[in-house]
Amino acid sequence: MNNREIILHTNSVGKYFYDPIKFKAIDDISFDVYKGEFLTLVGKSGSGKSTLLYCLSTMDTAYEGELYIKGEKVTGKKPNELANIRNCTIGFIFQFHYLLPEFSCLMNIMLPALKLNKYTYEEVEQRAYEKMKLLDIEDQALKPASKLSGGQQQRVAIARALINDPAIIMCDEPTGNLDSKNTQIVFEIFNRICHELGQTIIAVTHDLDFAKASDRTIELADGKIISTYENN
C-alpha cells in the first residue's frame, strides 16, 4: 500500500469557528490520499467532515496546519492561484446539483474547460460529449439544465467535475438527494472513475452502504479521526 503515489496530504489541519463561540470544528487531522483511491469521509452531523472537505477543496483558507496537493504545498497561496488549482486539479460534486440554470447541459459541462483555455472550443465540445457518453446523458446535451430530472442533473454535475480530467474529485453528499436507483448509478460511475481512469475521489457521506462500497473510509467525530478502515 505504501508504494502508491500520494495525491493529497494533510499535516495536522485544524479549524476554529468563532460564531457564536470559539469552537474547534476540526482538530489535528493528518492523513494521505492515494492516486486512484475512492475515499469516503463519514461521521455524525457536526463531526466536521464537510468542514474538512472544504479545507481540502482550497475554497476555505482559514485553517491551521498544511495541505499538499500533488506534493505541492497549497496552504498560503493567493486566491487566484487557488482558483487555478481548483480549475485544473479538483472537480466538485455537491449534494444539490448547482447547475447554472440559464445554460444548456453541454455549456454547463464546458464552462470550466473554456475557463482552463487549454483546448479549442471544438475540442472542449467533443470532450464534453465524451464525458456525457460516459454518464449516458448525451441525448440531454442541448436541454436547459433546469429541465432535467434530479438524477440526470447530478450526472451533468459529475460530467462537469470530470471535464478537465482533475486528479481529485471531491463530493459533498453526492447521493444525499438521490433515490436508490440513481445512487447505484452514481456509485458505479465513481468506481469506474477511480479504478479505470485512475482519478481520486474524496466523498463526504452519511450513507453507510455507500461508504462501505468505497476503498477506504475515515470516520470522524468531534473534529478528530476516530477510525480508518479499508473496505473489501
Partner 1 sequence: MKRKANVEIALTHIVARRKQTFTAALGVTIGVGVYLFMNSLSAGFSKFSRGEIFKNSAHIKIYKNDEICSPFIPNSKQDNVNVIVNPQITTLSKKIIDPENLLNVVKSQSYVTNAISQVYFDAFYNRGKAQIRGTGNGVNIIDYDAMFSTSKYMVAGSINNLQGNLNGIIIGSGIAEKLNLGINENITVSSSFGIVKVMKIVGIFTTGNSLNDQSRSYVNIATAQQFIKEGPSYVSTIFVNTPNADRSGYYAEQLQQLTEYTVEDWQTTSADLLSGDKTRSTLMNSISLSILLMTAFIIYNLLSSTIMQKINDIAILKATGFSGTDVISIFLMEAVIMGLIGTIMGMILGAVLIWMMSGIYMGGPVGYFPISFELSLFIQSFVLGIVITTCAGYFPARNAANVDPVEIFRK
DSSP codes joined into one string, 31-90: EEEETT-EEEEEE-TTSSHHHHHHHHTTS----EEEEEETTEE-TT--HHHHHHHHHHHE
Q: Is the CB of 108 or the CB of 214 nearer to partner 1?
A: 108
Q: Which helix (H) or strand (E) holds 23?
A: strand 23-34
Determine which residue in the list 4, 73, 115, 192 makes contact with partner 1, applying CB under 8 A: 115
Binding mask 76-105 for partner 1 (x = CB under 8 A): ---xx--xxxxxx---x-x---xxxxxx--
Cα–Cα distance between 192 and 180 in angstroms, integer?
18
Q: What's the min distance (Å) between Cβ of 114 and partner 1?
A: 4
Nearer to partner 1, 118 or 133 (CB): 118
Contact between 212 and partner 1 per CB under 8 A: no
Shortest reach from residue 90's CB to partner 1, in Å: 8
Q: Is 173 in the site for partner 1 (CB under 8 A)?
A: no
107 binds partner 1 (CB under 8 A): yes
The residue (of 54 and 129) whose beta carbon lies closer to partner 1 is 54
140-167 b/e (C-beta count within 10 Å ≥ 16 → b): bbeebbeebeebbbbbbbbbbbbbbebb
Q: Does 57 bind partner 1 (CB under 8 A)?
A: yes
Yes or no: say if 169 and 138 are a contact pair by the CB < 8 Å rule. no
Is 41 in contact with 202 (CB distance < 8 Å)?
yes
Q: Which is nearer to partner 1, 108 or 215 (CB)?
A: 108
Residues that bind partner 1 (CB under 8 A): 50, 54, 57, 59-60, 79-80, 83-88, 92, 94, 98-103, 107, 111-112, 114-117, 121, 160, 164, 172
